Amino acid sequence: GNSVTQMEGPVTLSEEAFLTINCTYTATGYPSLFWYVQYPGEGLQLLLKATKADDKGSNKGFEATYRKETTSFHLEKGSVQVSDSAVYFCALTTDSNYQLIWGAGTKLIIKP
């Protein structure tokens, strides 16, 4: 079946550090891949997405590249800020399944 695996958190970094949050997936068909972010006390919101292999999604300085050969969609940011502290979720859908399949989420803590 379809599944998403994320690196466990919390991930704690200092401000201006480089961020990588790993996400790998298992899917039948041709999945679309998403990163959602949940700031403290809020609902989830889309951060970025990629709908086919080799696509790069980007937003707010975050990037992720859809790598079909490694079934990965790792989230990266070159210089994190305290305001990036949140929980990040990787997710996928496939053409045959309109439901989002979610990873467990990775909590990111940025210290000043």
Partner 1 sequence: DADVTQTPRNRITKTGKRIMLECSQTKGHDRMYWYRQDPGLGLRLIYYSFDVKDINKGEISDGYSVSRQAQAKFSLSLESAIPNQTALYFCATSGVDSTDTQYFGPGTRLTVL
Write out the residues near partner 1 by the rule CB under 8 A.
Answer: 32, 36, 41-46, 49, 51, 89, 93-95, 97-100, 102-105
* Nearest distance from C-beta of residue 29 to partner 1, angstroms: 10
Alpha carbon distance 100, 95 (integer Å): 11
Please, what sign has the CA dihedral across residues 63, 2, 43, 22? negative
Q: Show Cβ contacts of residue 12 under 8 Å, excluding neighbours closer than 6 positions.
A: 109, 110, 111
* Nearest distance from C-beta of residue 109 to partner 1, angstroms: 15
With respect to partner 1, which residue has the nearer C-beta, 12 or 99? Answer: 99
Q: Give the end-to-end CA distance of the chain in Å, rounded to a whole number.
A: 41
| Tokens 């990873």 -> residue | 103
With respect to partner 1, which residue has the nearer C-beta, 18 or 33? Answer: 33
With respect to partner 1, which residue has the nearer C-beta, 25 or 89? Answer: 89
* Nearest distance from C-beta of residue 108 to partner 1, angstroms: 15
